[in-house]
Chain A
Amino acid sequence: GAGVSQSPRYKVTKRGQDVALRCDPISGHVSLYWYRQALGQGPEFLTYFNYEAQQDKSGLPNDRFSAERPEGSISTLTIQRTEQRDSAMYRCASSLDLAGATYNEQFFGPGTRLTVL
């Protein structure tokens, strides 16, 4: 079946512009996560949703970053007034949410490579 998809795969923008990154989770996965991965580093947690509810946004670096998942499926990560330090790979993951599970495996998408000039 189809995995997590993200679009665009590559985004080049100028400093100060807003960008919107899209994530389409695996069908039936109720939890959706956003991570940022700098070169040579592991993914860094940003935020996650259960259905349409944003459960944890503690990893968002500042108020220029926001995310939404209005219908509990597709999610958009928006970065306003982009800065060069925002350049990174932005990855989305999704998981089931099995009641009582110690851990629900997160399946990662291919990412969006954002470059801010």
Chain B
Amino acid sequence: GQQLNQSPQSMFIQEGEDVSMNCTSSSIFNTWLWYKQEPGEGPVLLIALYKAGELTSNGRLTAQFGITRKDSFLNISASIPSDVGIYFCAGPSGKQVYSGGGADGLTFGKGTHLIIQP
């Protein structure tokens, strides 16, 4: 099946630093998603990417859909304490049995743990 490989597995940074993480796949994805999960909560969507080469921002977060459609990158600028959490990349499995719209199970990476030291 599809697998998403995220790196790094964890990051220990100082507040104010910029963060970069990436996600690669052995197969092509037509949509790339970045989620954040905080302790005790479910994942929350940060950014969705739909087109190869697309660069999308959400505040201090910027994500890119790789040209090969097999990778994606997430950058966080000027990190703050509330950025702490686990960041997951994800993509639809591509089965879309139901043709009514974009409903599909997601494949997730293993996550990048971001820890910020004050």
Interface residues of B (CB under 8 A from A): 4, 30-31, 33, 40-45, 48, 50, 88, 90, 92-93, 95, 97-98, 100-111
Residues B40 and A45 in contact, CB atoms below 8 Å apart: no
Q: B50: nearest residue on chain A (CB-CB)? A: A102
Residues B105 and A59 in contact, CB atoms below 8 Å apart: yes
Q: How far is the CA of A42 from the CA of B110 in the complex (A)?
A: 5
Residue pairs across A and B with CB atoms within 8 Å: the count is 87
B-side interface mostly: loop
Taking CB atoms and an 8 Å cut-off, the chain A residues in 32-87 that contact chain B are 33, 35, 40-48, 50, 53, 55-56, 58-59
Q: How far is the CA of A100 from the CA of B4 in the complex (A)?
A: 26
Tally of A interface residues using CB under 8 Å: 37
Interface residues of A (CB under 8 A from B): 4, 31, 33, 35, 40-48, 50, 53, 55-56, 58-59, 91, 93, 95, 97-111
